[in-house]
């Protein structure tokens, strides 16, 4: 005969409460069976388990004297600790009402068992407080890697704290409302508007990508000096449009023409010789297969007459070209937040060097950025202040006052004539376009191609490496503007 097993003692209120809390957020359904409302408890516990993500829960029921044998209710207290993903803890106490149901102790379900402030339908929630920073285009939409050249994106994000440091918050979610209980605010995170125009940037990138040679385009809003586009293709060797320095070729005649008119050596309508070939000093200069006994200075500019500009340039003072170039932003220097820049260099010169510099050879060099500033200055008539990040103006280091007002109107008309009847007449169908072509000897028998100009308020420089002529630059200009 087997002896009867002793009856198991009924679980005490504290044991039941401990069982409930132990399983509350590891297995809400199994915890809910210890309550007097399992369905409601399961729903609420599941909601908080989801809301608190990977936070860990721990609760300890305070020791209490057992209730009398005939008691039907009692109340316990538990100390709750949540350890959140931020490693911070949230601590509070909850009251646990216990009721005897059909002879067994049950936790009387109430949302306040999760948190004293919790109500029906609400849940405890942990979430990141995101740093409110972003890199935006001028259209207000986020700029993502790939939307602008990688090197430029890295430079910008290297000097501004767009990301910042996320914070966190824990609180009560009810419907669409959130009531914070604790948290840490995010730190830093700037909203920075990059001045690039997404549509123009895309057009510039497509235009250079269509060329087999290395190519770059920089566009600037003349009225504000904000950079609108900066594009280069993968074939451009070892540099970028902000700093790469090349002989500007005949695009330098924009500066030379201004210096010549300012010095009183010629005005727009002055008759000047344009021989097919000329020896100036010890330098023999020729044009691209044409010559004229005499023609107006504005036409010599439109046809890009090297002999005219070499002769006039030889009569300028040694500092006339450097000084005038700087007044157009070429050879000037700024600290531009978001980009390392180098506009170029126009050193003082005499003799043959000054003759060659006057039509963009010699020891004159310019970056596409620098030549875009020249075009922007023609339009605006004042010293540019190039900007890439709004609210972070460039700081002038070596900058001159804007060009003389007297040279601007004739210079604009001359650049327009280049397009209507000069070396860029293939672009005559583009409304309001003005500019200057350039072909620059690059050594080794190769030549770079340029077109520097503006359409309305958009000034730009197009550069094509080892192009042989300005034709590729003109084609890229047409693609960019259309």
Q: Are 377 and 402 a contacting pair, CB within 8 Å? A: yes
Residue 10: pLDDT band by 50, 70, 90 thresholds?
Answer: low
Bridge partners, residue 279, by sequence: 284
Report the DSSP pairing between strands 215-221 and 365-366: unpaired
Rg (CA), the chain: 38
Q: Which single residue is written with the structure tokens 């995010």?
A: 186
Average pLDDT on 284-304 reads: 95
In angstroms, the CA 473 to CA 464 distance is 6
Average pLDDT on 29-34 reads: 96
Residue 427: pLDDT band by 50, 70, 90 thresholds?
Answer: very high
Q: Are 410 and 296 a contacting pair, CB within 8 Å? A: no
Model confidence at 289: pLDDT above 90: no
Residue 5: pLDDT band by 50, 70, 90 thresholds?
Answer: very low
Q: How many residues are recorded in the chain?
A: 482
pLDDT score, position 161? 74
Dihedrals phi, psi of 281, to nearest 5 degrees: 65, -125
Least confidently predicted of 181-195, 208-222, 392-406: 181-195
Q: H or E segment at 128? A: strand 123-129
Model confidence at 36: pLDDT above 50: yes
Domains of the chain listed by start with CATH number = 13-61+81-117 (no CATH), 134-193 (no CATH), 198-481 (3.40.710.10)
Average pLDDT on 149-165 reads: 81
pLDDT score, position 191? 81
DSSP characters for 240-293?
-TTT--B--GGGGHHHHHHHHHHTTS--TT-EEEE-SEEEETTEEEE-SS--EE
In angstroms, the CA 428 to CA 207 distance is 19
Q: What is the pLDDT of residues 38-95, one digit of tens each?
A: 999 999 999 999 999 999 999 999 999 989 989 999 999 999 999 999 889 999 999 9
Bridge partners, residue 167, by sequence: 129
Q: What is the pTM of this model?
A: 0.74
Model confidence at 333: pLDDT above 70: yes
Average pLDDT on 100-106 reads: 94
Mean confidence (pLDDT) of the chain: 93
Q: H or E segment at 345? A: strand 344-345
In angstroms, the CA 14 to CA 67 distance is 10
């Amino acid at each position: 005969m087997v002896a009867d097993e002793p009856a198991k003692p009924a679980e005490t209120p504290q044991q039941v409460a401990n069982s409930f809390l132990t399983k509350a957020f590891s297995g809400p359904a199994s915890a809910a069976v210890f309550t007097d409302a399992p369905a409601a408890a399961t729903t609420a516990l599941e909601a908080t388990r989801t809301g608190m993500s990977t936070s860990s829960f721990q609760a300890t029921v305070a020791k209490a004297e057992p209730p009398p044998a005939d008691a039907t209710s009692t109340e316990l207290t538990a100390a709750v600790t949540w350890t959140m993903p931020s490693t911070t803890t949230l601590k509070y106490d909850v009251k646990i009402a216990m009721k005897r149901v059909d002879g067994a102790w049950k936790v009387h379900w109430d949302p306040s068992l999760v948190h004293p402030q919790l109500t029906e339908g609400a849940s405890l929630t942990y979430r990141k407080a995101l740093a409110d920073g972003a890199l935006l285009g001028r259209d207000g939409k986020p700029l993502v890697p790939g939307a602008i050249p990688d090197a430029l994106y890295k430079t910008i994000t290297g000097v501004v704290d767009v990301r910042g440091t996320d914070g966190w918050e824990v609180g009560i979610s009810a419907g669409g409302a959130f009531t914070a209980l604790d948290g840490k605010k995010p730190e830093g995170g700037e909203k920075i508007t990059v001045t690039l125009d997404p549509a123009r940037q895309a057009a510039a990138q497509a235009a250079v990508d269509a060329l087999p040679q290395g190519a770059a385009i920089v566009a600037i809003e003349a009225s504000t000096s904000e950079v609108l586009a900066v594009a280069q293709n993968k074939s451009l060797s070892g540099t970028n449009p902000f700093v790469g320095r090349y002989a500007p070729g005949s695009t330098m005649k924009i500066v030379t023409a201004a210096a010549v008119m300012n010095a009183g050596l010629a005005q727009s309508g002055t008759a000047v010789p344009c021989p097919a070939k000329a020896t100036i000093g010890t330098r023999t200069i020729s044009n691209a297969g044409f010559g004229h006994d005499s023609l107006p200075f504005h036409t010599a500019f439109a046809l890009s007459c090297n002999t005219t500009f070499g002769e006039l340039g030889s009569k300028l003072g040694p500092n006339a070209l450097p000084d005038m170039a700087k007044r157009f932003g070429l050879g000037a220097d700024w600290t531009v937040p978001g980009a390392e820049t180098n506009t170029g260099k126009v050193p003082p010169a005499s003799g043959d060097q000054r003759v060659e510099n006057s039509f963009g050879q010699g020891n004159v060099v310019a970056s596409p950025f620098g030549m875009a500033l020249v075009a922007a200055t023609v339009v605006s008539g004042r010293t540019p202040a190039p900007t890439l990040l709004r609210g972070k103006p460039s700081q002038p280091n070596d900058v001159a006052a804007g060009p003389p007002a007297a040279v601007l109107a004739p210079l604009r008309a001359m650049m327009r004539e280049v397009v209507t009847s000069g070396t860029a007449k293939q672009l005559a169908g583009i409304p309001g376009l003005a500019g200057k072509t350039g072909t620059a000897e690059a050594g080794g028998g190769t030549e770079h191609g340029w077109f520097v100009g503006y359409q309305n308020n958009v000034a730009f420089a197009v550069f094509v490496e080892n192009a042989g002529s300005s034709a590729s630059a003109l084609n890229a200009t047409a693609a960019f503007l259309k």
